[in-house]
RNA sequence: GCGGACGUGGCGAAAUCGGUAGACGCAGCGGACUUAAAAUCCGCUUCCAUCGGAGUGCGGGUUCGAGUCCCGCCGUCCGCACCA
């Protein structure tokens, strides 16, 4: 009768058909409504992992679904191909970063193709190729011309062994993550992008991103970190001034000291003549930066012997300290301390016996002597504050700012946590920054007709440092301005620059420019972007900035790059450790025993798949064993997509069994043609079509999968009829986005024309969505006691009478009439006894 | 410390508007088919129990009615972190 679904043969056959026919190539002017579905492009690290499979399966289901709904869908794939791992591989294995990267791309591309994703491979791009990064260089020059790029001396983490700059995340306990060398702070000239120019706009724009997770919007909001307050100057006893920033100008009469950061000019100046000050500053810099260290670190200060005049009473002199808890990067790098109303200031004042003066009443206390054990930061009324007395905090803030502005010693000010984006990296495997340094002309942009500046291939990684910098010839060029001897910039761009505009290049990729404005705008913004939450801040913020910068320059009129964002959960797997603490792979364990040694194991938590915990599962072997559709099905089943998905052998086998079950249903023999309708099945079918459409549209794939199971069961149990044949055919269409190979095979086998990938989504008959009979719950005092089947829309009286007539209810009410009756039409009757 | 999310059977989960808690899947148990096994199909499967009762982390509250709303706790996970 029926055969088994031979996934391996079917997968290859249909993938070839899609390829040959260019089924998923997006046409720029098809006349259909356009839809852009994008998953975050992968870094070509070697092989794809289950996280990729899950991510791309979700995007694929949506892309295929939208095609069936009549959209021209752009669903591209590419490679975030620059980055450190390629250089590490070069150092460790003696391979060239380019060769390593391109080989990985080939491997991973084959793996993605094996899963049958509906991708437009004609638009594939890799950021490490000159036909991508050359255009990025051009955009960098545009940003430079628009005043959005500048060069500044900046302090960086320098690894003296590897001779390179490290990102903050690469510094672990003050040491380089590779070399283990103590990291030094070095001043280097670096290129910066003016992301802070757009801080307010990036913040305001979040409000309109209603299809983003709240969590991500909040993370970006906190990252931008807007604070409003007052910047003002203190006159100092040495004739200088110091500017401070505060969000609590209302507490100014509670000030008892001024504190500056160790790197503040005042501190640096003092250190030049005062050895104790210099020693203190050194000590501050040695302080750890881990969470625990900051938590327990004592507030330390160094009294400069300088005093500051209180702006409202020059006879009041505040001591000026250098303090370890003041950050040079934030605000002005200097603060005034109000111990009674700021916890850090409180700790500092307690240690150095400085006055602690109450200026905000907590409702119970108003006297200046503050006797709490911690600072009071709650709401209240101003006290002991001259002209502010009696005001609430907000009024007092405004009053102080008004006086400061009138007196010319301060002004209302907004401060951001967000810093400008430093994009210089002292690395080889990145986009060369298109600048030439000339002794006479300074930093000169490379003329656009000389782009791309191509990375030299003949480089070595046998000694530390930047191979571009020590290349014998590459950097030596003539100055484009004066023709004299000059050198190229040897830094490359942060790889986050590459991913800040790749989605635009996917939409439009002319040879002679980064993108065509009209074509790009026809596809953008990305309607649905899917990726890991680890990119919630940096990548997504940089891409939003880049889009705004392009708009600012008139190059692309798009407000936001991604209007819909979905952050999917991770794929997890159980972990095990041997009795002596080695991580064990789950297949080294059998029934609580380590197979190799026969000793009991220690089960760990279910955690994200990672090589170090030995709990990864390689997709390749799984796909070869179960076929692409079973893997895709498992990725969509059970767990909601935003939550973690626990990998299990029984889970993938269950998916495989269901694929076979669908095949038996699709391939069933039609010996008994059947006659007449099956209204119940018709109704179930249309409710399912409607429900699955809603579920896929809202990315609730686990719910869509459950509905497929239900409908499959209903069809299996239905007698042969045209309704049943119709339901089988529509079920093929509904599983086509999720299990496309099976669906194509079944579609062809059942004699349908064309590809199911090109077929339209089945239409819903709205009249079939409503049941004609409903089950009504009968409650007594809110507790379910009986149920009742009634025609839909039955009158209240009828329902009430039927409920009261129920044997069970009669018994429970014991002859007494209910005190109150609540009837919810078509749902329930609640009798209050 | 600040901010956020989450907490439902043995497990993954569903319940979209405050209206029958546990759909669907996994695992398990029983049965059919088979010489046998696998596969497949059918049934059972929140807990305690005889009627019946209890039950969505814990304690309160609002309501005819709470997994869902409010208040207070506890726990887990995530992000940021001396941000003035």
What is the domain partition of chain A in residue ranges?
A: 134-194+421-495, 226-416, 773-832
Taking the CA of residue A570 and the C1' sugar atom of nucleotide B6, their distance in angstroms comes to: 16
User: Among all strands, which nt has the closest C1' to A638 (CA)?
Assistant: B12
Q: Is the separation of the CB atoms in A250 and A393 below 8 Å?
A: yes
Q: Name the DSSP letter for residue A247.
A: S
Q: A133: pLDDT confidence band, cut at 50, 70 and 90?
A: very high
**ipTM of the assembly?**
0.94
**Is it the case that residue A669 has pLDDT exceeding 60?**
no
Nucleotide nearest to A829 (CA to C1'): B19
Class of the CATH-defined domain A226-416: alpha beta
Distance between the alpha carbon (CA) of A569 and the C1' atom of B69, Å: 29
Q: Give the predicted TM-score (pTM) of the model.
A: 0.93
Nucleotide nearest to A774 (CA to C1'): B20
Assess if CATH 1.20.1260.10 describes domain A773-832. Answer: no
Spanning CA of A607 to C1' of B77, the rounded length in angstroms is 12
pLDDT, residue A179, reads 75
Cβ-contact A549, A593 below 8 angstroms: no
Partner residues linked to A171 by β-bridges: A176
User: Nearest residue (Cα to C1') for B12?
Assistant: A638
pLDDT on residue A492? 95
Taking residues A71-82, what's their average pLDDT? 98
Q: What is the Cα–Cα distance from A736 to A741, expressed in whole angstroms?
A: 8
Q: State yes or no: pLDDT of A633 exceeds 90.
A: yes
Interatomic separation, CA of residue A378 and C1' of nucleotide B71, rounded (Å) = 20
CATH 3.30.450.20 fits A134-194+421-495, yes or no: no
Largest CA distance in chain A: 109
Query: Does A827 have pLDDT greater than 90?
Result: no
Mean pLDDT for chain A overall? 90
Closest protein CA to C1' of nucleotide B24, residue: A706
Confidence of residue A290 (pLDDT cuts 50, 70, 90): very low
Q: Quick check: A505 and A132 in contact, CB under 8 A?
A: yes
- How much of chain A exceeds pLDDT 90, in percent? 66
Which residue is closest to B23 in terms of CA–C1' distance?
A706
Distance measured from the CA of protein residue A806 to the C1' of nucleotide B80, in angstroms = 60
A611 is in an annotated binding site: yes
- Rounded CA–C1' distance between A678 and B42, in angstroms: 23
By C1' distance from the Cα of A300, the closest nucleotide is B82
User: Smallest CA–C1' separation from A824: which nucleotide?
Assistant: B19
CA-based angle A102:A104:A110, to the nearest 5?
Answer: 105
Residues contacting A594, CB < 8 A, separation 6+: A578, A579, A584, A588, A600, A601
Distance CA A118, CA A125 (A): 16
| pLDDT, average across residues A536-555 | 95
Q: What is the pLDDT of residue A826?
A: 85
For residues A747 and A753, give the distance between their C-alpha atoms in angstroms, rounded to a whole number: 8
**In this predicted structure, what is the pLDDT of residue A1?**
42
Nearest to A440 by CA among A493, A482, A385: A482
Helices (H) and strands (E) in chain A, counts: 26, 37
- Strand B nucleotides, any atom under 7 Å to a protein CB: 1, 3-5, 11-16, 19-21, 23-27, 39-42, 54, 64-66, 78-84
- Give the angle subtended at the CA of A519 by the CAs of A512 and A113, to the nearest 5°: 85
* pLDDT attached to residue A126: 98
Distance from residue A725's CA to nucleotide B14's C1', rounded to whole Å: 29
Classify residue A432 as left (phi > 0), alpha (psi -120 to 50) or beta.
Answer: beta
Q: What percent of chain A has pLDDT over 70?
A: 97
Under the banding of pLDDT at 50, 70 and 90, the label for residue A287 is low
């Amino acid at each position: 009768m029926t055969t088994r679904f031979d996934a391996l043969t079917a997968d290859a056959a249909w993938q070839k058909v899609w390829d040959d026919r260019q089924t998923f190539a997006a046409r720029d002017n098809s006349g259909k409504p356009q839809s852009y579905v994008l998953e975050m492009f992968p870094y070509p690290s070697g092989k794809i992992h289950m996280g990729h499979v899950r991510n791309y399966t979700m995007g694929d289901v949506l892309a295929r679904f939208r095609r069936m709904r009549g959209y021209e869908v752009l669903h591209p794939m590419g490679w975030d191909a620059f980055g450190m791992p390629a250089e590490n591989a070069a150092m460790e294995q003696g391979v060239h970063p380019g060769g390593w990267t391109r080989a990985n791309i080939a491997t991973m591309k084959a793996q993605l193709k094996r899963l049958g994703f509906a991708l437009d491979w004609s638009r594939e791009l890799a950021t490490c190729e000159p036909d991508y990064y050359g255009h990025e260089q051009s955009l960098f020059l545009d940003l430079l011309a628009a005043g959005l790029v500048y060069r500044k001396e900046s302090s960086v983490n320098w690894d003296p062994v590897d001779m390179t700059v490290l990102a903050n995340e690469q510094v672990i306990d003050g040491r380089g993550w590779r070399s283990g060398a103590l990291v030094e702070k070095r001043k280097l000239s670096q290129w910066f992008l003016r992301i802070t120019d757009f801080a307010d706009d990036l913040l305001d724009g979040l409000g309109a991103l209603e299809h983003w997770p709240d969590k991500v919007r909040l993370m970006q909001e906190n990252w931008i970190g807007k604070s409003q307050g007052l910047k003002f100057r203190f006159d100092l006893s040495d004739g200088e001034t110091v500017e401070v920033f505060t969000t609590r100008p209302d507490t100014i009469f509670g000030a008892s000291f001024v504190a500056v950061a160790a790197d503040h000019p005042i501190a640096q100046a003092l250190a030049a003549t005062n050895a104790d000050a210099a020693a203190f500053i050194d000590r501050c810099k040695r302080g750890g930066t881990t969470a625990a260290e900051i938590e327990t670190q004592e507030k330390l200060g160094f009294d400069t012997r300088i005093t500051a005049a209180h702006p409202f009473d020059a006879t009041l002199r505040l001591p000026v300290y250098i303090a370890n808890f003041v950050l040079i990067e934030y605000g002005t790098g200097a603060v005034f301390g109000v111990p009674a109303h700021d916890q850090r200031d409180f700790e500092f004042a307690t240690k150095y016996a400085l006055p602690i003066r109450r200026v905000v009443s907590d409702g119970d206390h108003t006297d200046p002597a503050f006797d709490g054990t911690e600072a009071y930061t709650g709401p209240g009324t101003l006290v002991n504050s001259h002209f502010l007395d009696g005001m609430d905090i907000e009024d007092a803030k405004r009053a102080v700012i008004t006086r400061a502005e009138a007196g010319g010693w301060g002004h209302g000010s907004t401060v951001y946590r967000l810093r400008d984006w430093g994009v210089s990296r002292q690395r080889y495997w990145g986009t060369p920054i298109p600048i030439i340094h000339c002794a006479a002309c300074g930093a000169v942009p490379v003329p656009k007709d000389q782009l791309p500046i191509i990375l030299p291939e003949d480089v070595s990684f046998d000694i530390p440092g930047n191979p571009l910098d020590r290349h014998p010839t590459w950097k030596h060029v003539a100055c484009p301005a004066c023709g004299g001897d000059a050198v190229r910039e040897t830094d490359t761009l942060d790889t986050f620059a590459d991913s800040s505009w790749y989605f635009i290049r996917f939409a439009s990729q002319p040879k002679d420019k980064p993108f065509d404005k009209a074509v790009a705008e026809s596809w953008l913004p990305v309607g649905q972007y899917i990726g890991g939450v680890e990119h919630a801040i940096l990548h997504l913020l940089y891409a939003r900035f880049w889009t705004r910068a392009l708009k600012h320059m008139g190059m692309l009129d798009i407000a936001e790059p991604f209007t819909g964002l979905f952050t999917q959960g991770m794929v997890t797997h159980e972990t095990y450790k041997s009795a002596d603490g080695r991580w064990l792979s789950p297949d080294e364990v059998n029934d609580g025993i380590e197979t190799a040694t026969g000793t009991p194991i220690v089960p760990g938590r279910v955690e994200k798949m990672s090589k170090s915990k030995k709990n990864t599962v390689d997709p390749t072997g799984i796909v070869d064993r179960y076929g692409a559709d079973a893997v895709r099905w498992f990725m969509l089943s059970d767990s909601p997509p935003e939550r973690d998905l626990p990998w299990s052998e029984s889970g993938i086998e269950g998916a495989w069994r269901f694929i076979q079950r669908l095949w038996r249903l699709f391939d069933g023999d039609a010996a008994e043609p059947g006659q007449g309708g099956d209204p119940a099945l018709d109704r179930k079918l249309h409710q399912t079509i409607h429900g699955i459409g809603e579920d896929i549209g809202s990315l609730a794939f686990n719910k869509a999968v459950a509905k497929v199971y239900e409908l499959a069961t209903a069809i299996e149990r239905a007698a042969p009829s045209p309704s049943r044949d119709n339901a089988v055919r529509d079920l093929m269409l509904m599983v086509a986005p999720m299990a496309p190979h099976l669906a194509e095979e079944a579609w062809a086998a059942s004699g349908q024309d064309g590809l199911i990938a090109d077929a339209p989504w089945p239409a819903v008959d709205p009249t079939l969505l409503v049941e004609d009979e409903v089950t009504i719950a009968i409650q007594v005092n809110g507790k379910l006691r009986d149920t009742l089947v009634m025609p839909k829309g039955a009158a209240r009286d009828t329902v009430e009478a039927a409920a009261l007539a129920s044997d069970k209810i009669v018994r429970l009410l014991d002859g007494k009439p209910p005190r109150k009756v609540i009837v919810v039409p078509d749902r329930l009757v609640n009798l209050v006894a």
